[in-house]
A and B are shown apart, each in its own frame.
Chain A
Amino acid sequence: MLTPITIVYLVILACVLALVVWNLFTEKKFTNQITAAMVTIPLILRLLLIK
């Protein structure tokens, strides 16, 4: 069962993930896109409560 603090955490996490994905698609420099892609991996795994 998700506790209220976990729900708040997941909402914040989803917002950060959305911003990083937005950055991935708007960033023109390839190295910055790679950085954004790497950052999304732990965020996705956390959002899905896998890790």
Chain B
Amino acid sequence: MKKHTITALLLTVVVAAVCVYSGNLFLSLRADDVIIPSKDLTEVRMLSDYLPKLKGTRGDTAIYIFKGEEEGGKALVLGGTHPNEPSSYTSAVILVENAKVTVGTLYVIPQAARSAFTHNDSQEASPLYVHFENSKGEVRKFRYGSRAVNPIDQWPDPDVYEHASSGQLLSGSETRNLNRAYPGREDGNLTEQVAFAITEMIKKENIGLTFDLHEASPEYPVINATVAHEKSMDFAAFGLFELDMYGIDMALEPSPVNLHGLTHRELGDYTDTYPLLMETANASQGRLRGATNEKLALDGKDKFYVSAGELGMLYVPYDENGHPIEERVGRHLQGVLSYTAAYNDFSGTPIVIENVPMYEEMIAAKVGDYLN
């Protein structure tokens, strides 16, 4: 056998080994995270119940429903719209694993863009998972995914993404961004179908209050903020007072009327729900970050962001303490509780959620303490 044939065979073995290793790594991200619901969970539905063609696709995702003994209002919490924003889905998972609803109904979708959990953004060096140790000493693992739906599930991207109902033009990759697809299309691409199913669910279930949980990079202007549709502004302002009493500095931003596809705009325009979108500070998705790893995603400590803060380049205070996941999750959960309380006074159709950690409790504990 010639020498170059032997080297080619050896390289083929190496290629096979690399493909098996990396292939298994990529495929492992398709396994769903384990969520252990609270004993007070009433029902689990699937998003495909509202759009049957999603059944069997990675657009289908679980909806956890907590129904109180007393009739009341209905609220929806969307986590994991962008799976590279860990406080979003972690907050939703804590709700699912702890909540008890005594009045009204709470719907929680922890992984709204389920397909986007099955891959990372390329060239971002993102961690594959974040881990939390619960009070029993067990390690709970959740995927750190991508901002966009997996191109394996939706391909190809157009050069320019045209938002269906408004005609708004955006970069082609935004065609896989769930929070640019609302109100969605029944016969659209997978992202649009997911958005359509969520919109349908809100209409059919007559959900009055919708939260969409997000994170943003510290240099992004809309941060530590709540973005509200104009019809949500009145009660959101009251919620803001309560958040201030808990020591949470939160800005209230109006939803731009000419920025389409987002929950805080389209769900307000196309349904009767009152939408609110909340943002916390996540250094691991920022452009100024140093080493990108699980530690950064969880503790938010980054010397480059400290320097950027000293130079006045950020929209959020930043020091050596970073912005740990407990603070970010605490902000989201307290936001859900306080805005819901304000909505109850405003609407007269109350939703009472109990057993969810408040901001003070969350920052004094670890996320794992509230995982089953």
Binding site for B on A (CB under 8 A): 3, 5-6, 9, 24-28, 30, 33-34, 36-37, 40-41, 44-45, 48-51
Per CB-CB distance, the 7 closest pairs between chain A and chain B, nearest first, are A37-B11, A25-B8, A28-B4, A50-B23, A50-B26, A24-B8, A37-B15
User: Is B19 positioned at the interface, with any CB of A under 8 Å from its CB?
Assistant: yes
Binding site for A on B (CB under 8 A): 4-5, 7-8, 11-12, 14-15, 18-19, 22-23, 26-27, 119, 152, 155-156
Partner of A30, one of B7, B12, B14, B152: B7
Residue of A nearest to B18 (CB): A41
Partner of A33, one of B11, B19, B119: B11
Q: Are A41 and B19 in contact (CB under 8 A)?
A: yes
- Name the A residues within 8 Å of B155 (CB-CB): 3, 5-6, 9
What is the total of A-B residue contacts with beta carbons within 8 Å? 50
Can you give 27 contacting A-B residue pairs, CB < 8 Å? A3-B155, A5-B155, A5-B156, A6-B155, A9-B155, A24-B8, A24-B12, A25-B8, A27-B4, A28-B4, A30-B4, A33-B7, A34-B11, A36-B11, A37-B11, A41-B15, A41-B18, A41-B19, A44-B19, A45-B19, A45-B23, A45-B26, A49-B152, A50-B27, A51-B26, A51-B119, A51-B152
- Name the B residues within 8 Å of A44 (CB-CB): 15, 19
- Name the A residues within 8 Å of B23 (CB-CB): 45, 48, 50-51
In the assembled complex, how far is the CB of residue A11 from the closest CB belonging to chain B, in whole angstroms?
A: 15
Q: Are B12 and A37 in contact (CB under 8 A)?
A: yes
- Name the B residues within 8 Å of A9 (CB-CB): 155-156
- Name the B residues within 8 Å of A45 (CB-CB): 19, 22-23, 26
Tell me the complex Cα distance, A51–B18, Å.
13
Tell me the complex Cα distance, A30–B23, Å.
26
- Name the B residues within 8 Å of A25 (CB-CB): 4-5, 8
Residue of A nearest to B2 (CB): A28
Tell me the complex Cα distance, A24–B312, Å.
54
Tell me the complex Cα distance, A36–B5, Å.
13
Q: Given A45-B19, A50-B26, are A24 and B156 neighbors across the interface (CB < 8 Å)?
A: no
Residue of B nearest to A32 (CB): B4
Partner of B14, one of A26, A37, A48, A51: A37
Contacts A26-B4, A30-B7, A36-B11 supplied; 5 other A-B pairs, CB < 8 Å: A25-B5, A33-B7, A41-B19, A51-B119, A51-B152
Tell me the complex Cα distance, A30–B18, Å.
19
In the assembled complex, how far is the CB of residue B60 from the closest CB belonging to chain A, in whole angstroms?
A: 15
- Name the B residues within 8 Å of A5 (CB-CB): 155-156
Residue of A nearest to B155 (CB): A6
- Name the A residues within 8 Å of B119 (CB-CB): 51
In the assembled complex, how far is the CB of residue B58 from the closest CB belonging to chain A, in whole angstroms?
A: 12
- Name the B residues within 8 Å of A34 (CB-CB): 11
- Name the B residues within 8 Å of A40 (CB-CB): 15
- Name the B residues within 8 Å of A48 (CB-CB): 23
Residue of B nearest to A1 (CB): B57
